[in-house]
Structure 1
Amino acid sequence: MISARPKIADLVFQFYGRSLHPELFEVQRERKVERTAYTATIKITSTGHAICWQQPEGLLLTEVATSALHDLPIKRRLMSQRVRGEHDDRIECAGGLVYQTELSLEHADHSTIRSYQQELQLAGEKHSVLYQFESGGRVGLGAFSYIHFESRARTLRIQALHTFPEDGVILKSQSLFTLPATV
């Protein structure tokens, strides 16, 4: 298991049509969202995040932002994207569920990263999960992860922001899980 935040150059964004063993991740913070049609577990990990979606009928999906060096399974991996610039994807899953995601990298100086972190800490944790990592190097500013979620009866919107002060980069992602109206 990798226990240090990866460099942005090593980061991958993956989507699975299955669950992943919890032992694969060092979880820093976790939140569970329960609706009649689905349950979602939102985790900030030492390397990024993991979003686990589960429906009562058995559909299991997992979104992961982690290091490419992290040894994750290939079986039922539906998407794997190195984090570079901007990227979007759309996957239609079993039962009509649609998964959509958008990623972008924003280069930022340390004062901008610090401002983001301070603003997000003030936002609180009513509909979010956040974690401040300790500084691991010369910058003196620890990485920060913030995940905001909007949960509705048939949709879950996830907005994640991860700072990488050593690299001068902010990773922003937005994911949407949408069930068809007939479910």
Structure 2
Amino acid sequence: MAIGYARPDVADMVLRVFDRSVHPELFDSLRVIRIAVGPHWATLRLNTHGHVLEFRTDESVVTEVATSRHSPLPLQMKMIDRRLIGYRTHMIDSSGVRYHCSYQLEAVPPDIYLQLHREMELDARSATLSAILPGSSPCSPDCISMLRADVLREGLVVHAFHTFPDNGAVLRTQTLFELL
């Protein structure tokens, strides 16, 4: 029996940010990469629902999770818990790290969605991390997730893209972890 992946309904997507690490076994990690940022580390994960970004220094850990609101996540040390809808920005300072995130969830007409999908298929080839999951039916486009990470002198910036074919939607996030 084949096991398929199912994206959650885009209306169920949330952004949760923690002032701690979140156990990786809580996620179905499809791809993982660890990136050195000077003497610090970032771990980037793509999973079936979205992504997990963890930035770790000697003094702090900040973890961003884009996932379904139904995902079992800890309640302790949660700094942000927001539905991913429309366009928003967040900024928090936490023990020597400034976390800054902006996101946009955009639903588009089918013809525009298919054009964006084709462009993202090409972009996924050169992404820092990417995963392509089967769509909900044989006629549905695949679900694409990709991360582009750039190490900066004082931190890390990550651009995330996730497609939701059943909703004709694309979620884009830009996250900056900046050393203070």
Q: Same fold (TM over 0.5)?
A: yes
Where do 5+ consecutive residues of structure 1 fail to align? Answer: none
With 98-107 and 130-139 compared, the bigger mean Cα shift is at 130-139
Q: CA RMSD in A?
A: 1.7
Q: What is residue 166 of structure 2 aligned with on the other side?
A: 166
Q: Secondary structure at the match of 1:166?
A: helix
**Whole-Å separation in 2 of the counterparts to 1:64 and 1:125:** 23
Name 1:60's counterpart in structure 2.
61
In the superposition, relative to structure 1, how do residues 107 and 45 fare at CA in structure 2: closer, same or farther (>3 Å)?
A: same
Post-superposition CA distance 1:81-136 (Å, at most 9, x none):
111111111001112x1111111111123443333333233335555211111011
Deviation at 1:139, TM superposition (A): 5.0
Q: Which amino acid aligns with 1:41?
A: T
Distance 2:124 2:138 in 1: 28
Q: How many residues align?
A: 176
Bigger drift between 108-117 and 27-36 goes to 108-117
Q: Which runs of 5+ in 2 are unaligned?
A: none
CA distance in 1, matches of 2:21, 2:45: 13
The 8 Å contact of residues 37 and 155 in structure 2, kept in 1 or not, is answered as no
Of 155-164 and 134-143, the range deviating more from structure 2: 134-143
Residue by residue over 1:133-161, the C-alpha shift from the partner in whole angstroms, topping out at 9 and shown as x without a partner, is: 10113751121111111112321111111
Q: Deviations over 1:55-96 (max 9, x none)?
A: 1x141111000010111111000101111111111001112x
Q: Which has the higher strand share?
A: 2
Question: Matches of 1:177 and 1:127 in 2, distance apart?
Answer: 19
Partner secondary structure for residue 70 of structure 1: coil
1:99 equivalent in alignment to 2:99: yes
